[in-house]
């Protein structure tokens, strides 16, 4: 006796696969954005130059202030991205589990 899955189940499995693909694409995009911000943050950690010239020292001080403000903004954005990534990981895991369960149903393994 061959198992013939219901056409609606097949359509549901296709839709679940599309949702899974979208969730994994979203996860990849969020990870790439967070990694880009981490790279920007790492670029701010360059060592300051010691210069006896007062104009250069003033420019270095202004740059240091700007870098601190930028660092705070990046850290806040990275924290928000980490929260989003945690939710995206959970959503992607749920979408994958849904696809695996539907695949087993289609193959008659339940």
Question: What domain range includes position 56?
Answer: 7-106
Tell me, yes or no, whether 98 lies in a domain.
Answer: yes
Tell me, yes or no, whether 44 lies in a domain.
Answer: yes
Lowest average pLDDT, out of 15-24, 38-47, 57-66, goes to 38-47
Which residue is it, tokens 């499995």? 13
Tell me, yes or no, whether 23 lies in a domain.
Answer: yes
pLDDT reading at 89 higher than 60: yes
Distance (Å, whole) CA 20 – CA 23: 5
Torsion of CA 70, 75, 78, 82, to 10 degrees: -170
Tell me, yes or no, whether 1 lies in a domain.
Answer: no
Tell me, yes or no, whether 2 lies in a domain.
Answer: no
Read off the pLDDT of each residue in 12-33 and give the average, rounded to a whole number.
98
Give the global pTM. Answer: 0.80
Read off the pLDDT of each residue in 57-66 and give the average, rounded to a whole number.
91
Tally of structural domains, the chain = 1
Query: Which tokens hold the place of 34?
Result: 């967070």
Distance (Å, whole) CA 79 – CA 74: 8
Distance (Å, whole) CA 103 – CA 55: 68
Tell me, yes or no, whether 93 lies in a domain.
Answer: yes
Gap between the terminal Cα atoms of the chain: 15
Tell me, yes or no, whether 81 lies in a domain.
Answer: yes
């Amino acid at each position: 006796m061959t198992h013939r899955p219901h056409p609606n189940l097949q359509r549901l499995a296709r839709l679940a696969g599309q949702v899974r693909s979208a969730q994994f694409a979203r996860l990849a995009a969020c990870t790439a954005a967070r990694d880009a911000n981490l790279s920007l943050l790492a670029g701010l950690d360059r060592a300051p130059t010691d210069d006896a010239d007062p104009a250069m020292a003033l420019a270095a001080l202004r740059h240091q202030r700007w870098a601190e403000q930028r660092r705070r903004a990046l850290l806040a954005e990275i924290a928000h991205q980490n929260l989003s990534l945690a939710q995206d990981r959970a959503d992607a895991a749920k979408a994958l589990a849904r696809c695996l369960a539907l695949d087993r149903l289609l193959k008659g393994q339940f």
